[in-house]
Structure 1
Amino acid sequence: MKFKLLLIDMDGTCHTPGGGIIKSNIEPIKQAHDAGVIVVFATGRAPFAEINELEKHGFYQDGYYLAALNGSWIIDLKDQTTLEKNLISAQNVNSVINVIKTKQPDIDFFAYSEDPMENYIYNKGPLTLMEFEKKFIDRNSKLINIMDFENFKSCFKFLLRNSNENFHQEISKYDIEIHWEPGRTAEINRAGIHKGFAVNYFMKKFNINKDEIIAMGDGPNDVSMLKVVTHGVVPSNACDSAKANAFEISKYSYQEGFVGKIINKYIFNKGE
């Protein structure tokens, strides 16, 4: 079978968590692109962070795309133009934050605002969530404590740490989509916006069917795209929900260059 589209998650799949790309993945990705395969980096990260290393390794050219913040911001990397944005409305942002303020003060919270210079935070415990996400925003961006602010703007994505199913049910009425597995950080986008949405966007854009796609990811926010495609492949380090929805569970972890090995296996028939 000839594959026409690759969707590649970053953290824990192609990249180290919170870090750069695994070096052994770089050349296979480029070789697949040069062979005519469209490459989409589908990530929960913000789009233009230096640590993503997309410009550094030559991915800012025709045929490379980015579905950032779980598909809520779709970008053509050739000229970094926005193709589509889908945000949580300001009204629903304010409603969710009000629930946190009044009913769930033990949650750690980070929100990517529509304004890249204004992001929203709340840390009850250690600052680990905020410190992790700070890697992906402009160093001059304001980090606004939600307890000291009102009238929040529309947002691409929320992250919640120390949340639970009851709290998720409480906020689910506000037109949002929750990607979560117990013990992990919850990621929240506008309802209907997820990596599976990004898969469908590119299928329609390029007239590609689900059998002609390979999607690779490791986390709860990857489940939606693994469900859409026929060939969803996960690394050995993937979470339980990702493994449960995969076509194949690789014996290789992200540290071992899982992405490059899968490209060689399926695109170039070299085996793992």
Structure 2
Amino acid sequence: MRVGVCVLTDLPWAEAAPVWREIEQLGFDHAWTYDHLMWGPLRDHAWYSTVVTLAGAATVTSQIPLGYWVTSPNFRHPTAFARELVGLQDLSGGRILCGVGSGGEPDAQVLGAELSRGERTRRLREFLDVLGRSLAEDHVDHDGEFYRVVDYRNVAGVEATPPKMIVAATGPKAIALAVEHGAWATTGLGGETVDEWWANLAKLSRMVDDAGGAGIERYLYLDSAPRFSLDSAEFFLDQLGRAEELGFTDVVTTWPRGSWPYEGDPAVVAEVAPRLGLGGN
């Protein structure tokens, strides 16, 4: 199982850069950050650009894959976003991962979007289609329900390997999209206790199996559970085992912060790494 670490975009770069370096030096398999205009629990705190953060991370690391957990159509046009991804792929040497979901409420509210769940799912499908074409083709034209593109040029992109797309999903239609793309990301279905969270996650995992996704890559964000995954090394390893039992190929935890949410001690990250057999530098 591959293990990644997510770093929130609430730190100025002078403080964030050493964290990204350490994640790679400890040998973790991938590193991520959130992609929001604002994030509810920290809406009164500093919040920096995801694109700028990943560009900075690409310059202070050399090998670790770097990802969006997760982007959405709420504030991104797929063709304009493709241009950013092509640039990040070039800067990082092809290390970008891209989680994509239908989008949450805070970002939608900032820009005044009012869409039903069905409309968001249709928009996600169209977003992924136009994004995929804008990454791989030159002279892209599109006239759809949500997006219009007229002769988009992509000279650099057609020569490059596009990022891996990982579809975040909890409902049947979005799960079908994840199966199509061969990679599924989830934060689960919630729960009042850790055990209830895992029980609900097992139901969701069976939905993916039933949709034909038994063999696809599966990414789980552990810190959607009621207890912080890095509360202790022992608890983290237990959660990792439970994820493996459900067939997850990848898990993502959060770099500990000094206060809620994800309050914890970074020393636990350093304690966990060798026990996972990671190839630290």
Q: TM-score scaled to structure 2, two decimals? A: 0.35
Higher relative strand content: 1
Q: Structure 1-normalised TM-score?
A: 0.35
- Greater helix fraction, Structure 1 or Structure 2: 2
